[in-house]
Structure 1
Amino acid sequence: MDYEDMESFIEQLERRRRKPTFDQLHDRQTYFVRKNLIREIDKLSQKYNRGFKTAFINHAIAKLLREEFGIDV
């Protein structure tokens, strides 16, 4: 491996290290959610990949904060 390859290898490692982990970006919270809403989200999630529920809920909350409260997140 020459110097240029080693340098790019180290740059890739540093980029990975700087990328925040899932746990650094998210906190676990517990809420009561109506059963009919859970049922519909569960049905939708069967059509999509892992992580759909988290993405869906985060999108819905962000949209509501933006549109109803004027909070840009």
Structure 2
Amino acid sequence: MDVQENDQEVLKKSTEREPFLVTKSSNAVRKVIGDSVKLKTNETIYDFHNVSIYKNNGKINIVTFDLVSTVK
């Protein structure tokens, strides 16, 4: 999505998007560094997409997700 003017608009528009990770873990996002997101979970993963995009000032940017997952 394009950069939004406020948090309420982001939340509203985010409900129209698919999540990149669906898991039982409530703290899977460990660190965000630039356009890279570090994820870690030892819970069940139902769905995961390792690449996403967003637009900023008309430019498309790629976000990558680095997932470490273990089974309990």
User: Please, what TM-score do these two structures have when normalized by structure 1?
Assistant: 0.21
- Higher strand fraction (1 or 2): 2
- Higher helix fraction (1 or 2): 1
User: Please, what TM-score do these two structures have when normalized by structure 2?
Assistant: 0.21
Say which structure, 1 or 2, has more relative contact order (CA 8 Å, 6+ apart). 2
